[in-house]
Structure 1
Amino acid sequence: MTRLLGKKEISQLTAFDFVSSLMLSELVGNTIYDPEVHLSHLVFALVVWTLLALGLEKFIASMPWLSRYAAGTPDLVIRDGVIDFKAMKRNNLDFAQLGMLLRENNVFSLREVAYALFETNGSISVLRQKDPDSLSGDAKAQQTKVCLPESIIENGSINEDALRRLGRDVQWLQQLLQLSGIAHHERVLYAEWSDASGLFYQLK
């Protein structure tokens, strides 16, 4: 049945594929443990269910709007370098998960991201920002310095663990925000700090 439904990885299976797998396992289980269910019953049920699943899959694929409804559509969670927090909430995605998905794409800072597309299989596709113009002298050395950014504010809440890892405190963060014209950290949707690149933030 898996071959008939096409080449799909486990992460690409739709909800319908998952239900089909559960149904098939139930049919096999009944055959093994119920003495009144014979092998011929199993074969008949498998054929009927496979044909039904295959037919429904083809029917859904022939109607794009229904296919989008059944399988879902990708959702932009970062658009033109700006986090779409509504899209994150719509997909039950928090900043820790977003950071993990970005790191899987070898992206360690949100400032590197132009667009991030949250796929229907739970992965994320990233289009990076264009490389900045070539720098010279001390500026170039500072630009090429590699530092791991820390997420210091997420949805208005200060990440004190990140501040400790940076060797900083809340007072330092408040002063940093004031220098950026931000009166209170609750106005900030997301902020990260890198010793190489400084502060990156987005307001709510």
Structure 2
Amino acid sequence: MNANLYVSIGVKLTVALIGLLIMTRLLGKKEISQLTAFDFVSSLMLSELVGNTIYDEEVHLSHLVFALIIWTLLALGLEKFIARFPRLSRYAAGTPDLIIRNGVVDFKAMKRNNLDFAQLGMLLRENNIFSLREVAYALFETNGSISVLRQNDPEGISGNAKDQQSSVSLPAYIIENGSINEDSLQRLGRDKLWVDRLLQLSGIPHHERVLFAEWSDSSGLYFQLKEAKHA
């Protein structure tokens, strides 16, 4: 192996490192535990892209730079496109699944996510929860973690879980960036007509004017309108 090849590998590694740092900054900071399925696939593609070009003598530095630029533009464009249309985000990144509702475990949701009770218990313990009676609602997130809303008085709960009445309610985003979240409505047992009536009571003529709207059975509607566009 000649000296030129060593220099070429060193330069490619340096450029790849700088390119990946720039790409990470452009796409936003995320912890490893926050990676979605799309982020995971993207990281695999990047590792293959960089790994296959660094040690190939026929691939020049310009090829590596070009590939990094194209992949960055594609990934950034897709991120922006998904952010503009929240409904597409739910298909690309997935949606959280409610596995405990009102203190009752949804075993079908557990099977749908390939979860057993040992794994559920481990995820709850990571949230410092050691008994299911402490849980009012639990969402299995798209990154494999679990988010929990606790019962207000878990010590007063015993007997059949289905006979209990939770003292808390789970808030849900019913509007995201002007788009109605149909998954949340289905979970709430509501429809678009209910959303329209709810907004009209607040003096809002159309859901497209709403940046976000959150509904809670215990607290009602909480929302923020989009900023008005100035001419």
Alpha-carbon shift at residue 99 of structure 1 (Å): 0.5
Which of 88, 107, 112 in structure 1 is aligned with 2:134? 112
Distance 2:72 2:144 in 1: 27
Instruction: Give the TM-score taking structure 1 as reference length.
Output: 0.63
CA contact (8 A) 1:14 1:70 kept: no
Alpha-carbon shift at residue 21 of structure 1 (Å): 1.8
Distance 2:47 2:130 in 1: 41
CA contact (8 A) 2:98 2:139 kept: yes
Specify the SS of the correspondent of 2:24.
coil
Match of 2:62 in 1: 40
Deviation by residue 1:75-115 (Cα, 9 ceiling, x = unmatched): 11111111111111111111001101111111111111111
CA contact (8 A) 2:103 2:161 kept: no
Distance 1:22 1:124 in 2: 24
Larger Rg: 1
Specify the SS of the correspondent of 2:54.
helix
Match of 1:2 in 2: 24
RMSD in angstroms over aligned alpha carbons?
2.2
Asked if 1:22 corresponds to 2:22, the answer is no
Alpha-carbon shift at residue 202 of structure 1 (Å): 5.3
Asked if 1:64 corresponds to 2:103, the answer is no
Distance 1:57 1:71 in 2: 10
Structure 2, unmatched stretches of 5+, are: 1-22, 163-231
Letter in structure 1 aligned against 2:61? L
Percent sequence identity over aligned pairs? 87
Distance 1:58 1:34 in 2: 33
Specify the SS of the correspondent of 1:115.
strand
Write the mapping of 1:187-202 to structure 2, written as runs, cut at 5 A: none
Asked if 1:84 corresponds to 2:117, the answer is no
Specify the SS of the correspondent of 2:98.
strand
Deviation by residue 1:34-61 (Cα, 9 ceiling, x = unmatched): 1110111101111111111110111112
Alpha-carbon shift at residue 200 of structure 1 (Å): 5.3
Alpha-carbon shift at residue 16 of structure 1 (Å): 2.3
Using a 3 Å threshold, how does the CA distance of structure 1 residues 49 and 7 change in structure 2: closer, same or farther? same
Match of 2:118 in 1: 96
Specify the SS of the correspondent of 1:127.
strand
Asked if 1:11 corresponds to 2:33, the answer is yes
Distance 1:15 1:81 in 2: 28
Instruction: Give the TM-score taking structure 2 as reference length.
Output: 0.56
Letter in structure 2 aligned against 1:111? R
Specify the SS of the correspondent of 1:125.
strand
Asked if 1:53 corresponds to 2:85, the answer is no
CA contact (8 A) 2:96 2:141 kept: yes
CA contact (8 A) 2:99 2:106 kept: yes
Distance 2:152 2:43 in 1: 44
Distance 1:18 1:105 in 2: 24
Letter in structure 1 aligned against 2:77? G
Distance 2:59 2:161 in 1: 62
Distance 1:35 1:61 in 2: 39
